Amino acid sequence: MSEIIDALNQLEKEKDISKDVIMDAIEKSLESACEKDFGKDAIIEVSMDRTTGDIYVYQIKKVVETVENEATEISLTQALAMNKKNKVDDEVKIEIKSKEFGRIAAQKARSIIVQAIKEGERNANYDKFHCKEKDIITGVVQRYVGNNISVSLDDKTDTILNENEQVKGEVYRRGDRIKLYVIEVKKNTKGVKVLVSRTHPELVKRLFEKEVTEVADGTVEIKSISREAGSRSKIAVWSNDPNVDPVGACVGLNGTRVNNIVDDLKGEKIDIITWSEDPARFIENALSPSKVISVELGEETDEKGKPIKCAYVVVPDYQLSLAIGKEGQNARLAARLTGYKIDIKSESKARELGMEFDSYDEEYEEYDDSYEEDEE
Helix-strand-coil split of the chain, %, nearest 5: 40, 30, 35
pTM above 0.75, yes or no: no
Contacts of 222 (CB under 8 A, 6+ apart): 205, 208, 209, 215, 235, 236, 237
Phi, psi of 297 (to 5 degrees): -95, 145
pLDDT band at residue 4 under the 50/70/90 scheme? low
Listing DSSP states for 158-177 in one string gives: EEEE-GGGSPTT----TT-E
Backbone angles phi, psi at 236, to 5 degrees: -105, 125
Q: Which has the closest alpha carbon to 64: 46, 85, 88?
A: 88
Mean pLDDT to the nearest integer, 239-244:
96
pLDDT band at 99 (very low <50, low <70, confident <90, very high): low
Looking at residues 55-83, what average pLDDT do you find?
Answer: 89
- Residue 204 pLDDT > 70: yes
Q: Which residues are CB-contacts of 242 (< 8 A; sequence separation ≥ 6)?
A: none
DSSP structure class, residue 328 = G
For the stretch 155-183, pLDDT in tens is: 889 999 999 999 998 999 999 999 999 99
Q: Which residue has the higher pLDDT, 247 or 120?
A: 247
* Residue 340, SS3 per DSSP: coil
Distance CA 213, CA 275 (A): 19
- Mean pLDDT taken over the chain: 86
pLDDT at residue number 181: 97
